């Protein structure tokens, strides 16, 4: 993989509404990529059914604050062919999101992954590859989803650093 036209590897996290899971994943990636590689990486998020300009969910913001992550400035955006086209790595929360990416941009397959499958051996199919949607769920449910996202981001960071380092 080479650096994109902006001189950065473009990573896009996607979920349904772009107000819970993908903003959390975006913020965690930005926090954990580290300052050395941050100048070579751009992370964004979008939703397959998102409305433009919505804030992160109140419970999502509160959950993130407990984990020292700030979602207060998040503004949702819908997934578009343009966003897909400029992304080098697309990380989806569930298989339906991957299908929508491929419907919008059929050539995006090699760059599109379920978050839980990214960086795993080809053909790897984990049990429970979906990151559940916490919208309208309890605080405890949000905590569980956040911790699951945090663990997945921790798992992929070493692989992601290798991918980015090979591009610079």
> Active-site residue numbers?
15, 21, 133
Where does 29-138 show beta strands of DSSP type E? 41-47, 89-92, 112-114
CB-neighbour burial class of residue 35 (10 A; exposed 0-12, middle 13-18, buried 19+): exposed
Distance of CA 125 to the CA centre of its chain: 19
Cα–Cα distances in angstroms (integers) from residue 94 to residues 124, 128, 152, 166, in the given order: 15, 10, 14, 28
């Amino acid at each position: 993989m080479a650096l994109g036209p902006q001189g950065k590897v473009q990573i896009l996290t996607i979920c349904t509404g772009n107000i819970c899971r993908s903003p959390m994943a975006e913020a965690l990636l930005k926090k954990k990529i580290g300052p050395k590689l941050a100048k070579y990486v751009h992370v964004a998020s979008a939703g397959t059914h998102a409305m433009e300009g919505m804030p992160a969910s109140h419970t999502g913001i509160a959950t993130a604050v407990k984990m020292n992550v700030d979602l207060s400035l998040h503004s949702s955006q819908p997934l578009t062919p343009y966003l897909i086209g400029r992304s080098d790595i697309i990380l989806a929360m569930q298989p339906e999101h991957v299908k929508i990416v491929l419907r919008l941009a059929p050539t995006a397959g090699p760059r599109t992954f379920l978050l839980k499958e990214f960086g795993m051996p080809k053909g790897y199919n984990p049990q429970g590859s979906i990151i559940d949607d916490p919208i309208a769920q309890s605080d405890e449910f949000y905590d569980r989803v956040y911790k699951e996202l945090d663990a997945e981001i921790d798992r992929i960071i070493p692989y992601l650093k290798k991918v980015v380092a090979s591009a610079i």
